[in-house]
Amino acid sequence: MTKLTWLVTGCSSGFGKDFVHSILARGDNVIATGRKAAERLAHLKDTGATILDLDMSTSEEEINTKAQEALKIYDGIDVLVNNAGYIDFGFVEDFSYDRWLAQITTNFLGAVTLTRALIPHMRSRRSGTIVNNGSMLGWQSLPCCPGYCATKYALEAYTENLQIELAPFNIRSIVFEPGHFRTSIISPTNRTESYSSHPDYAPTLEMLRAHFDGNDGNQPGDPKKGVELMIDVVKGEGLAKGKEMPPRLPMGSDALEVVRKKCWETLKTCDEWEKAIKSTDFPADVPAYKYNGDEIASSK
C-alpha cells in the first residue's frame, strides 16, 4: 500500500485530533495544522506528526504561503482534509455582518482558499483527494446557528463543483456529513454565543440551551469510529473496501435519519407540485435549451 501524505486542518481537538492519531496508526504521513499551533497542538508534538501553524481565517496570501510550505515537507500532499470550523450560537436577528463574516471566513472561505492553493499540485500529478468535513446541518438547519448551517450547506455545493471540475484530473472530492458526535464543539467552555435579550426569544432560547446542555457529552456518535470510517473511505479499506467513493456520506444514525427525511420531503414536494413547477416552461413547440445536469456532471 502506497504511503499517503495528509494535510488536516483544525487539529486542536475533536475530529482533527483523532484524524492525526488514526492516520499515523495506518502508517501514513500527516501534517497537522491549527491556530497558535505551538500552544494548541502541543499535545500532538510527540506523535510523529508534522505541526504547521495555519489560521483558516487569515488572508489568502498567508494561506497560499502556508500551502506551499506544506507541499515541501513531504514533497507533496495526497489528501487534504478541510476540517477546521466552529459554531457561533445566536438568533438570525442577532447575527451582525461581522459575525456572519467570521463564520463564513473560517468554516468556508478558508477551506476554499486552501483547496485552491493545492489544486495545481494535485492536477499536475493527476491524483489527489479533497475531503470536506460537512455536517447533517448541511441538510437540515437548526435555530441559533445560522452561520454554521449556511457554511455547511455551502460546502455541499462547493464539493459538487470540485467533483465535476476535477474528476478529469483523477482528483476525488467528498463531503462527509456527521450527525451529533461526542466532541467538545457544543461544550459550555467551548461555545461562542451571543443571544438576543428580547423576551420574544426566551422560550426558544430556553429550549435550545436545555438541548445543548443535555446533548453535550451524550452525543451518539463516536469520533474515533467516525474518523476511522472517513479514512477507510479515502483509502478504500475496511467498510469501504471494494466500493466507489460516494459524492457525500452521512455519518451516524441521526444523520441518516435527517438525510432520508429531507429526500422524502423533497420528492413529496416535487410530486405534489409537479404541474405547477412545469407550468413556467415555454410551450413544448417553442425551441429551448434542454438542461441535462447529469450529462454535464459526468462529462470528462
CATH code for residues 5-274? 3.40.50.720
Contacts with 146 (C-beta within 8 Å, 6 or more apart), sequence order: 90, 91, 92, 95
Asked if pLDDT for residue 286 goes beyond 90, the answer is no
Number of H helices, E strands in the chain: 11, 9
Q: Are 18 and 39 in contact (CB under 8 A)?
A: no
pLDDT band (50, 70, 90) for residue 248: very high
Q: What is the pLDDT of residues 141-189, one digit of tens each?
A: 988 889 999 999 999 999 999 999 999 999 999 999 999 988 766 666 6
Q: Are 81 and 9 in contact (CB under 8 A)?
A: yes
Contacts with 61 (C-beta within 8 Å, 6 or more apart), sequence order: none
Structural domain spans, the chain: 5-274
pTM of the model: 0.92
Active site members: 148
Q: What is the pLDDT of residues 174-230, one digit of tens each?
A: 999 999 988 766 666 666 767 777 889 888 888 887 877 777 767 778 999 999 999
Measured between alpha carbons, how far is 300 from 167 in angstroms, rounded to an integer?
A: 7
Asked if pLDDT for residue 74 goes beyond 80, the answer is yes
